[in-house]
Amino acid sequence: MSSVLRVEGLRTAIGDVEIVRGVGFAVAAGETLAVVGESGSGKSMTALSIAGLLPRGGRVVGGEVLLEGRDVLALPEARRRAVRGAEIGMIYQDPMTSLNPLTRVGAQVAEGLTAHGWTKVRARSRTLEVLAEVGLPSPAAIARLYPHQLSGGMRQRVLIAAAIAPRPKVLIADEPTTALDVTIQQQILDVVARLRDEYGLAVVWITHDLGVVARIADEVLVMYAGRAVERASVRPLFAAPAHPYTAGLLRSIPTPATVHRGALPQIGGIPAAPSGLPAGCPFAPRCPQRIGRCEHEEPPLTDRSPGHAACWVSPEHWAGEAR
Ligand SMILES: Nc1ncnc2c1ncn2[C@@H]1O[C@H](COP(=O)(O)OP(=O)(O)OP(=O)(O)O)[C@@H](O)[C@H]1O
Ligand SMILES: [Mg+2]
């Protein structure tokens, strides 16, 4: 399997604090990697590091981001921006903050293209084409509207259109559906899945929602305190998690009776803060499986066939109803 996007040992700091502490994964064309984990685990910072869109004060301090084998971090700054802008599309949680309220949506999609060197004429026709591809009816009429004249779902479709318009190879979606109601959320997932298949996009989908993971992901990366604690294909991960944190997330999937969309899975204790990580495994204080070693030695991500997990205790030695 050749990967379109391969990330190795990615480390990102904001000021002196390491927020992303060695994350690695690979995504092939037409595949979806879901990134899950509680709030603050570093999902967005990982995405922004890859897309080169870190906030002020943030910088990548280690690792590689390989796009079809080329390390984009090693490219000169200007080239890096051009490559990433055209080859990595990104969509965010809140369509209102990513769209300019004063500009017609068609012009915004087209501007993204002209910024990447498209002529105005080509940008305009591509804009209408791509608005149709994301399932917006009468693209020419939609293109003339302002963001506030669209529903939340339509705005999200416009953002997807803008992201895929330059025909990127990678699409990173950072919780783009959490603000939408369930029906619209499903429609957006369907649109992205169709585009993934048609374009052969490598998709990275960040979410809190394990239901979404089950629907769209091929591979799953579970993050905790800036690291991947488990990485596996979706079926084995759901059937037999290899990290106690993943097991906790799965146990707390809402049932039809408790369904509360977008709710954070409840695991006892407080997530680790990046500025005050304990010496050992950051999950140890909350972990029902911890042993003495966990308190002073952080486990590396190791092979736990069929996936990988960062835990000193393998599932066959877990106590209680661990799974
Ligand atoms: N601009 C910033 N300056 C300093 N620290 C930040 C900044 N943005 C995020 N952080 C910190 O970086 C860590 C990782 O944040 P990140 O946004 O990647 O988490 P996340 O997994 O995306 O969470 P969420 O699910 O809430 O979106 C958090 O501890 C957060 O407090
Ligand atoms: Mg985030």
pLDDT at 65: 96
Separation of 164 CA from ligand 2 center, angstroms? 21
Provide the 10 A C-beta neighbour count for residue 255: 7
pLDDT digits (tens, 9 = 90+) for 168-213: 999 999 988 777 888 888 999 999 999 999 999 999 999 988 888 9
pLDDT at 260: 55
pLDDT digits (tens, 9 = 90+) for 281-306: 999 999 999 999 999 999 999 999 99
pLDDT at 197: 96
pLDDT digits (tens, 9 = 90+) for 96-152: 678 999 999 999 999 999 998 999 999 999 999 999 999 999 999 999 999 999 998
Q: What residues make up the domain containing 62? A: 3-98+168-317
pLDDT band at 321 (very low <50, low <70, confident <90, very high): low
Pocket of ligand 1 (CB under 6 A): 14, 19, 37, 39-45, 55, 274
Atom 17 (ligand 1): residue with closest C-alpha?
A: 44
Relative to the CA of 42, which ligand 1 atom is closest? 18
38-42: average pLDDT: 92
Separation of 37 CA from ligand 2 center, angstroms? 10
Q: What is the CATH number of the domain that holds 181?
A: 3.40.50.300
**Number of domains the chain is built from:** 1
Does 278 have pLDDT greater than 50?
yes
Provide the 10 A C-beta neighbour count for residue 182: 12
pLDDT at 322: 46
144 within some domain: no
213 within some domain: yes
249 within some domain: yes
Provide, rounded to the nearest whole percent, the portion of the chain with pLDDT above 70. 94
110 within some domain: no
Residues 189/178, Cβ–Cβ less than 8 Å: no
Ligand 2 ion: residues within 5 Å (CB): 44
Does 259 have pLDDT greater than 70?
no
192 within some domain: yes
128 within some domain: no
224 within some domain: yes
Separation of 315 CA from ligand 1 center, angstroms? 30
Task: Assign 3-class secondary structure to 40-105.
Answer: CCCHHHHHHHHHCCCCCCEEEEEEEEEECCEEHHHCCHHHHHHHHHHHEEEECCCHHHHCCCCCCH
